[in-house]
Structure 1
Amino acid sequence: ARHYAPSTIFVDEIDALCSARGGANEHEASRRIKSEFLVQMDGMNSVTSETDDNGQVVARTVMVLAATNYPWELDEAMRRRLEKRIYIPLPDEQARPALFSINLEKIAMADDIDLPALAHMTEGYSGADITNICRDAAMMSMRRITAGLSLDELKNLSKDAIKQPVTMADFQEAIGKISRSVGQADIAKHVRWMTEFGAV
């Protein structure tokens, strides 16, 4: 990353790599990895510069971007090194139609699909929940077509026969089957952490 700077390093689920040190079950190798990661993070914070072919001074920075669903499990030293700590809440009623559109980009939809209505029906759902709903709804038309067919009949089905548009009823059934994965207690815990440690 330093060689190709300016550059960005993205670390997903950083709590798995940099959870609080000193636990009774912590392995020595794990502790060493965390310590080395912290040392390298210190090096990332130093901005270097060089002169390009035109004589202009160019900053050579490396930005570290990390994500976690469990910020309270981060090692305190790592938390200090992450200068900006931002809580991204669940998608609101303006964002959810866009999430449905993204997930349905390559799926045939019936004319009765109402994205604002779907957004209203999925209050409190996460982006992953909405992805699961879209996947489940897309499979329902195939289940209807293939229900009761023998193996030979399934083999003879054409792709056009299987690719039926997803209807609003499919989404309503999928939403009825898939509950939201984030509870109010989880949200409150994130808000409390952000109140104490957030840095926008």
Structure 2
Amino acid sequence: MIEMPTVDVVAGAAKRILDRLKSDHEFGAFRAASLEYSEDWQCFTGFPVVSLWKLETDAEPLFEEGLRALALKAAVFEATGDDQISEIAIAVPVDEMTHAMLAQSQLFARVAARCGVGIIHQTDQEHTDYRSGGYTHGCYRAAWGEPPARYWLDHEEVVRRRGVLADLYESIGMARSGREHAIDFAAVGA
């Protein structure tokens, strides 16, 4: 069994990784493309768990958090070489932002390759059970200080908020948190 690297090892590597990514000549294009992806950010259970969510004001700070999360995962991968172990717990809204970033696959792959960074993310292996006081929290704090609680929500709070959202969605006919509905658009008219 592979041991998790120490918080300090991950924090130091994550800061260096983040600096390398940001200094790449295509980083600005990657950032712009990730934020432009906003027209497709229609997830019902990711970003909406953020209290008083507003895309126009939350996108940029959440981009930074997504980048930091990917840097932490890359740092664990750098230390262990194990992509499964590197899927450390990430808060749901932050994970959702990483999906917007990873959608820029060709651009991000070029940036990461030039920087020598292994970008880790596989949906069936991701862990969105982030908790303050846990390993990811410790690594983040050692690298950049306290993570913004607005985005780094504990798993139990995300579950509670998803329940609130599910009830609201159900009240307007959106079943299973937007995974199905019974709207017949032909019957609604033009």
TM-score, normalization by structure 2: 0.26
TM value normalised by structure 1: 0.25
- Decide which structure has greater strand share: 1
| Greater relative contact order (CA < 8 Å, ≥ 6 in sequence) | 2
Indicate the structure (1 or 2) with the bigger Cα radius of gyration.
1
